[in-house]
Amino acid sequence: MDKTDKIFVAGHKGMVGSAIVRKLQVYGYTTIVCRSSKELDLRNQQQVLDFFADEKPDYVFLAAAKVGGIIANSTYPAAFLYDNLMIQSNVLHAAYLHQVKKLMLLGSSCIYPKFCPQPMKEEHLLTGVLEPTNEPYAIAKIAGIKLCDSYRSHYGCNFISVMPTSIYGPNDNYDLQNSHVLPSLLRKFMAARDKKESSVVIWGSGTPKREFMHADDLADALVFLMQTYNEPGVINIGIGDDISIFDLAKLVKKVVGYEGDIILDPSKPDGTPRKLMDITKLGSMGWKAKISLEEGIRLSYEEVKEKQWAEMG
């Protein structure tokens, strides 16, 4: 990418999209195009086609998606499948029609099988059944990966697919019904501390392990890959280490300063037992994450405390 190329960041108000915009600005890219969902409904094909005809972006970061945790995926499966399929199909086809130089599709580690060998390698895709609690989102993202590869082989489009691990950071979603595990834990422990509650209940057995990456690290990796990576299939993005949900809860408890007990509720679903990314491919290209988990949680805690906690109540 040249510094003056027109770059469309789809989903710029979300956690990942906003991190991409910040990183591009830091690196000196001057022509970043963004549209809110109210200004441009990516599920609407005609709106997307009109946008690409008018703006003619050179590069596209497709970070727009309908996302959420176990509760949201289980409650709204049709929306997770339909919305994500439509967003990807419309943007990829418009990018092909208007000769975008390069497009990056962002997926998620949930595309891999529920009982995937650990750490998860790129070649493990489609080798087993998916985790039922996020299957609609995973199916949509797998379709997006195959769509990128199909446009590449059929039309010669430079469309790439990247699969980040679990992400957290600025502009995360802290809604208790729709958020992922780390922001949900932050909010739970802050609320319990402020209300002087004696305990916090954590869903599941606490034994599943997850890998967490700060959004600013992810954005750095995405810009790096947009500049250097041009292959079909997928490439994993992560830190190469994971932590159990129970140990994560203890770490959040420590950062927040909560002094009560942690109670596990094994009657609630655990989700996938483990989701650790094999990042050998990315590491061989010379990129490595910089922000530790505890440092990242402290950064998130400070953000919530200063900007959002008053509104959450």
Q: In terms of Cα–Cα distance, which of 215, 300, 225 is closest to 21?
A: 215
**Contact status, residue 211 vs residue 109, Cβ threshold 8 Å:** yes
User: Which of these is catalytic: 96, 137, 168, 301?
Assistant: 137
Q: In terms of Cα–Cα distance, which of 255, 249, 264 is closest to 294?
A: 255
Query: Per the annotation, does 198 bind a ligand?
Result: no
Give me the count of residues in the chain: 313
Identify the H or E element spanning 83: helix 77-97
What are the extents of the domains in the chain?
6-168+211-237, 181-209+242-274+293-312
> What does the alpha-carbon distance between residue 37 and residue 45 come to, in Å, rounded to a whole number?
13
Query: Per the annotation, does 107 bind a ligand?
Result: yes
Angle at CA of residue 305, ends 197 and 240, nearest 5°: 95
Query: Per the annotation, does 38 bind a ligand?
Result: no
Whether 96 is catalytic: no
Predicted confidence (pLDDT) per residue in 190-236, tens digit: 999 999 999 999 989 999 999 999 999 999 999 999 999 999 999 99
Residue matched to tokens 């769509």: 147
**Contact status, residue 183 vs residue 174, Cβ threshold 8 Å:** yes
Collect all residues with Cβ–Cβ distance below 8 Å to 241 and sequence separation of at least 6. Answer: 211, 276
Give the pair of three-digit tokens for residue 204.
């599941």
Concatenate the DSSP letters of all residues of 149-199 into one string. HHHHHHH---EEEEEE-EEE-TT----TTT--HHHHHHHHHHHHHHTT-SE
Query: Per the annotation, does 106 bind a ligand?
Result: yes
**Contact status, residue 311 vs residue 248, Cβ threshold 8 Å:** no
Phi, psi of 272 (to 5 degrees): -60, 135
- Asked if residue 119 has a cis previous peptide bond (ω within 30° of 0), the answer is yes
Query: Per the annotation, does 124 bind a ligand?
Result: no
> What does the alpha-carbon distance between residue 203 and residue 266 come to, in Å, rounded to a whole number?
7
Confidence of residue 12 (pLDDT cuts 50, 70, 90): very high
> What does the alpha-carbon distance between residue 313 and residue 309 come to, in Å, rounded to a whole number?
6
Identify the H or E element spanning 60: strand 59-62
> What does the alpha-carbon distance between residue 108 and residue 138 come to, in Å, rounded to a whole number?
8
Which pLDDT belongs to residue 175? 72
Residue 177 predicted with pLDDT over 70 = no
Query: Per the annotation, does 16 bind a ligand?
Result: yes
Q: Does the 6-168+211-237 domain belong in CATH 3.40.50.300?
A: no
Which fold would CATH assign to domain 181-209+242-274+293-312? UDP-galactose 4-epimerase; domain 1 (3.90.25)
Which pLDDT belongs to residue 106? 97
Residue matched to tokens 């890959």: 225
Query: Per the annotation, does 268 bind a ligand?
Result: no
Give the pair of three-digit tokens for residue 97.
């029609």
Query: Per the annotation, does 233 bind a ligand?
Result: no
Predicted confidence (pLDDT) per residue in 234-283, tens digit: 999 999 999 999 999 999 999 999 999 999 999 998 877 888 999 999 99
> What does the alpha-carbon distance between residue 215 and residue 228 come to, in Å, rounded to a whole number?
20
Q: In terms of Cα–Cα distance, which of 137, 162, 142, 126 is closest to 279?
A: 162
> What does the alpha-carbon distance between residue 54 and residue 60 come to, in Å, rounded to a whole number?
15
Predicted confidence (pLDDT) per residue in 85-108, tens digit: 999 999 999 999 999 999 999 998
Collect all residues with Cβ–Cβ distance below 8 Å to 152 and sequence separation of at least 6. Answer: 158, 159, 232
Which pLDDT belongs to residue 171? 87
Query: Per the annotation, does 12 bind a ligand?
Result: yes
Give the pair of three-digit tokens for residue 182.
């780390």
